[in-house]
Amino acid sequence: MKYTAVNFVSADIEEWQKDLLIAELGDIGFDTFEDNEDGFVGYIPSSNLDIQALETLLLVQVSDYQLDYTVNDIEEQNWNTLWESNFNPILVDDACYVRATFHEAKPAYDYEIVIDPKMSFGTGHHQTTSMMLSFVLANDFEGKRVLDMGCGTGILAILAAKRGAASLVAVDYDPICVDSVEENKQLNNITNLESRLGSKDVIVGEKYDVILANINRNILLDQLDTYASVLEMGGQLYLSGFYEGDDLNILRDKCDTIGFSFQEMKLMDSWCAAKFVKG
């Protein structure tokens, strides 16, 4: 697959602003990012690059700092090899060890998850994924019907399965992610996980005990009504992909209006994850 590199240069962008911009770029097709001294580089399949969409995004998002960008087509290369060179194992709460197939196994930990990223979001390295994994470790999933929305690699659903979930559905709009879930559930010997291509429309009319959704604030706001309709009374809703402060307050206000009560939150480098209960 041919890729295009877009080099974003800014002398005064804050780290939280960069993280927010990267999240928004992911929504318009960018799937890999790399920091450099002047800013960062975003990679996108050349066929998916829409300059008008990029300009519109930057017009809305970039107001408090100066940002320039350049676009360069790059030679085809083995992108999985590039991932491998930048993917190190992580340990969450001294209990869950996340590694790739090319790392040494460490069965001494309570849970070991093997992930082949395949350029899809969800290796555990991002703060939001790490906090969601921590929530899964700390809460009861035994016998639960679990929905993982915006599943990426399926890492959250895989840990929930290892924590005793009875059945799991993992949903993502990106076919690369769905393929990644299928491969990763085999790597982890998970047999009760179904992957689906789509969005909130593919879960309408179903019932779940737990919903995991690590996406971004705007998508969460759009999907919360659907979550409320498919989650059983007393069911648990875990959200991440947003910042503390305004983002969390807006989500909490929306959750209050549709029957979710806020329970607790986790913070990591200004990123936030929150637990709600229906009813």
pLDDT at 76 (0 to 100): 62
Across 187-209, average pLDDT? 96
- Between helices 246-257 and 217-230, what is the axis angle to 10°? 20
CATH of the domain spanning 126-278, picked from 3.40.50.150, 3.40.980.10, 2.40.37.10, 3.40.710.10: 3.40.50.150
pTM attached to this predicted model:
0.76
CATH superfamily of 3-77: ACT domain (3.30.70.260)
pLDDT at 16 (0 to 100): 80
pLDDT at 136 (0 to 100): 98
Lowest-confidence region among 48-52, 115-119, 131-135, 170-174 = 115-119
Q: Sheet containing 39-45: which strands, arranged edge to edge?
A: 32-36, 39-45, 3-9, 68-74
Asked whether the domain spanning 126-278 has the same topology as the one spanning 3-77, the reply is no
3-state secondary structure 56-93: HHHHHHCCCCCCEEEEEEECCCCHHHHHHHHCCCEEEC
Binding-site positions for S-adenosyl-L-methionine: 129, 150, 172, 214
Tens digits of residue pLDDT in 176-195: 889 889 999 999 999 999 99
Q: Provide the 8-state DSSP code for 104.
A: P
pLDDT at 192 (0 to 100): 98
Lowest-confidence region among 14-23, 142-151, 155-164, 209-218 = 14-23
pLDDT at 65 (0 to 100): 87
Across 198-221, average pLDDT? 94
pLDDT at 120 (0 to 100): 47
The answer, yes or no, to whether residue 218 has pLDDT greater than 90, is: no
pLDDT at 85 (0 to 100): 59
* Lookup: tokens for 230: 């498919």
Residue 137 CA, chain-centre distance (Å), reads 17
Q: How far apart are CA 186 and CA 5, in angstroms?
A: 32
Q: How far apart are CA 34 and CA 98, in angstroms?
A: 21
Tens digits of residue pLDDT in 259-269: 999 999 999 98
Lowest-confidence region among 5-9, 59-63, 65-69, 228-232 = 59-63
The answer, yes or no, to whether residue 173 has pLDDT greater than 70, is: yes
Residue 7's contacts (CB-CB under 8 Å, 6 or more residues apart) are: 36, 38, 39, 41, 69, 70, 71, 72
Quickly state the pLDDT bin for 165 (edges 50, 70, 90): very high
Q: How far apart are CA 47 and CA 132, in angstroms?
A: 32
For the chain, the structural domain boundaries read 3-77, 126-278
The answer, yes or no, to whether residue 242 has pLDDT greater than 70, is: yes
Q: Sheet containing 231-243: which strands, arranged edge to edge?
A: 193-197, 167-172, 145-149, 208-214, 231-243, 271-278, 260-268
Binding-site positions: 129, 150, 172, 214
Across 233-249, average pLDDT? 93
The answer, yes or no, to whether residue 241 has pLDDT greater than 70, is: yes
Residue 52's contacts (CB-CB under 8 Å, 6 or more residues apart) are: none
Query: Which amino acid is located at 92 in the chain?
Result: V
pLDDT at 130 (0 to 100): 93
Tens digits of residue pLDDT in 19-42: 888 888 988 988 777 788 888 998
Q: How far apart are CA 94 and CA 111, in angstroms?
A: 10
- From 127, 141, 166, 140, select the one nearest 269 (Cα to Cα): 127
Quickly state the pLDDT bin for 63 (edges 50, 70, 90): confident
